[in-house]
Amino acid sequence: MVRSILDGMRGILSLLVYGFNTIICCTPLFIIALIKVALPFKPVQNGCRRLLTAIATAWIAVNNLNQKVFNGIRWDVQGLDNLDPKGWYMVVANHQSWVDILVLQNVFHRKIPFLKFFLKKELFWFPVMGQAWWALDFPFMKRYSRQFLKKHPHLIGKDLEITKRACEKFRNIPVSVMNFVEGTRFTREKHSRQKSPYLHLLRTKAGGMAFVLAAMGDKLQHIVDVTIAYPQGVGTFWDFVCGRVKEIKVRVKTLPIESEMLGDYLQDPQFKRDFQDWLNRLWHQKDEDLARLMAG
Handedness of CA 171, 175, 176, 180 (dihedral sign): negative
Q: Is residue 212 part of a domain?
A: yes
Is 160 within a domain?
yes
Any domain includes 31: no
Host domain of residue 124: 72-295
Nearest CA-CA partner of 188 in 197, 205, 206, 201: 201
Which CATH number does the domain housing residue 287 bear? 3.40.1130
Residue 44 resides in a domain: no
Residue 227 lies in a domain: yes
**Contact present, 286 and 201 (Cβ < 8 Å):** yes
Could you read off the pLDDT tens digit of each residue along the chain, which spans 296 residues?
778 888 899 999 999 999 999 999 999 999 999 999 999 898 999 899 999 999 999 999 999 999 999 998 999 999 999 899 999 999 999 999 999 999 999 999 999 999 998 888 888 898 899 999 999 988 887 766 666 556 666 656 666 677 777 777 788 889 999 999 998 999 999 999 999 999 999 999 998 899 899 888 788 999 999 999 999 988 899 999 999 999 999 999 999 999 899 999 888 999 999 999 999 999 999 999 999 999 87
Please state at what angle helix 207-216 crosses helix 269-295, rounded to 10 degrees.
110
133: closest CA among 107, 108, 114?
Answer: 114
Structural domain contains residue 167:
yes
State how far the Cα of 61 lies from the Cα of 199, in Å rounded to an integer: 34
Q: Tell me, yes or no, whether 222 lies in a domain.
A: yes
- As to burial, measured by CB atoms within 10 angstroms (0-12 exposed, 13-18 middle, 19+ buried), residue 259 is exposed
Provide the domain count of the chain. 1
Q: Which of 139, 101, 100 is nearest to 121 (CA)?
A: 139
Examine residue 7 and state whether it is found in any structural domain, yes or no: no
Q: How far apart are CA 61 and CA 14, in angstroms?
A: 14
